[in-house]
Amino acid sequence: MTNKIGFIGCGNMGKAILLGLLSSQIVKARQIVGYDIRTEITDELARQHGVLTADGSAQLAQQCDIIFLAVKPDVIRTSLGEIAGVLKPRQILISIAAGITLDAISAVVGPDKKVVRVMPNTPALVREAICSLTPNQHVTPDEFSQVARLFSSIGRYERVPEYQIHAVTGVSGSAPAFVFMLIEAMADAAVAGGLPRKQAYQFAAQTVLGSAKMVLETGLHPGELKDNVCSPGGTTIEGVGVLEDKGFRAAVMQAVRASTHKSIRLSQGE
């Protein structure tokens, strides 16, 4: 890929995607331009990885073919306003801001601009992301393929209609935090059982990784995979009973739904 790619916002999510792209080697460091209001972030990226930097959003937009808007939802309209006057119809704008609709973006940058809404997640950093892609009507099939190629280099992607993005936010955008909490809790219990902390994290994290891979690669229902682990009168069904008693399944559903509903509220300007 020869496109020049810009990142407006290089915080946790923007940086994860940027470094994931570099790790995949689909683009070279000199094809990436970064801008963040916190200049120490882009200075470090330039020093450690060789990416280019810009002094402002408009300067970045003037030199890039594909522009990632990786800023928080509460400041995205300000960032859009800074680049609206210099955007060209040929450029592709990728927004990862939760709750900010395609129409809201077009209202600022103009109705003729190419925009793709993306809901990524932080495993992009290790090229294990799952991202939803939602283009507007101006993005051609070839241009969508270019964007999809970027995101397939950092994990998996699914094309979804815009109304489903709220659910994606809950189940993947926010959910890595829930999984990290699960890993931490599993490891804490293992430490209480006598396992050294470092090993406890290894066992817990690899168990989550392997279990997820089984779901993706076997095609079996998670409930069937769970049943396969539960021997009659065994240790696993004893633990499953405790999770059911404590409302584990309901708590996870409520957490995902809470993140989903927050995304809806953001889209309504709340």
Degrees, nearest 5: CA angle 178-180-181: 65
CA–CA dist 74, 7 (Å, integer)? 17
Q: Is 71 annotated as a binding residue?
A: yes
Q: Is 70 annotated as a binding residue?
A: yes
Q: Is 11 annotated as a binding residue?
A: yes
Q: Is 147 annotated as a binding residue?
A: no
Q: Is 262 annotated as a binding residue?
A: no
Q: Is 3 annotated as a binding residue?
A: no
The string of DSSP codes covering the chain is ----EEEE--SHHHHHHHHHHHHHTSS-GGGEEEE-SSHHHHHHHHHHH--EE-SSHHHHHTT-SEEEE-S-TTTHHHHHHHHHTT--TTSEEEE--TT--HHHHHHHH-TTSEEEEEE--GGGGGT-EEEEEEE-TTS-HHHHHHHHHHHHTTEEEEE--GGGHHHHIIIIISHHHHHHHHHHHHHHHHHHTT--HHHHHHHHHHHHHHHHHHHHHH---HHHHHHHH--TTSHHHHHHHHHHHTTHHHHHHHHHHHHHHHHHHHHTT-
Q: List, as residue ranges, the binding site for NADP(+).
A: 8-13, 70-73
Q: List, as residue ranges, the binding site.
A: 8-13, 70-73
